[in-house]
Amino acid sequence: MNLIQNQILELLKKNARYSNGDISNMLNVSESVVETEIQGLIEHGIIRQFTTIINDNNIDDYPIRALVELSIRPEKGTGYDAIAQRIFSYDNVVSHYLVSGKYDFLLVVEGSDHKDIAHFVFDKLATIENVKSTTTHFIFKSYKEHGVLMEEAASSSRLAILP
């Protein structure tokens, strides 16, 4: 990627609603350059989607989310990819990562309530061949999503203790 593409990506990560005109003004390049670069980023699969960050803390009936850790026994010949494809095809799976550490996959899953997620984990994920174990962590509150604070940081009323 070139410098302009990197700068465009950084701006769009901050605000996907920036127009090509906004970006061209910020980077001091023409709108046609911005349009061409964005189109190239889309065509190469670097930009997958333009989206909105929602503060679900303020929505009463928003789906419940959980982090699910999965330990996997990789399949001979296909490794993690074939199992991953079965897992990420479920509608409940919002995000899916191959990670290092004590488990192999980290999923973000959504459901209408805690039981919905529990049934999904027990009935769908845990029954997949080569899944060794699952651990589910329900998300109670979001403080920060994709670099965006979900509420303004409260200033502390405590006095600093000086040495």
Give the 3-state secondary structure of residue 102: coil
- Non-local CB neighbours of 19 within 8 Å, separated by 6+ positions: none
Q: How far apart are alpha carbons 77 and 93 in whole angstroms?
A: 25
CATH of 56-141, one of 3.40.30.10, 3.40.1180.10, 3.30.70.920, 3.40.1190.10: 3.30.70.920
Residue 160 has pLDDT above 70, yes or no: no
SS percent in the chain: helix, strand, coil, step 5 = 35, 20, 45
Yes or no: is domain 3-43 CATH 1.10.4190? no
The whole-angstrom separation of Cα 80 and Cα 98 is: 8
Sign, CA dihedral 142-147-152-154, equals positive
Predicted confidence (pLDDT) at residue 155 exceeds the cutoff of 90:
no
On the question of pLDDT at 157 being above 80, the answer is no
Cα separation, 21 vs 92, whole angstroms: 37
Checking if the pLDDT of 50 tops 70, the result is yes
- Would you state the structure tokens that stand for residue 124, as one six-digit string? 């769908």
Mean pLDDT of 12-34: 96
Q: How far apart are CA 134 and CA 46, in angstroms?
A: 31
Q: Domain extents for the chain?
A: 3-43, 56-141
Task: Supply angle C-alpha 62, 121, 98, rounded to 5.
Answer: 90
Minimal CA–CA distance to 28: which of 53, 57, 3?
3
pLDDT tens, residue by residue, 98-150? 999 999 999 999 999 999 999 999 999 999 999 999 999 999 999 999 888 99
Evaluate if residue 20 carries a pLDDT over 90: yes
Average pLDDT, the chain: 93
Q: What is the pTM of this model?
A: 0.82
Percent of the chain beyond pLDDT 70?
94
**Confidence bin at 154 (pLDDT 50/70/90):** low
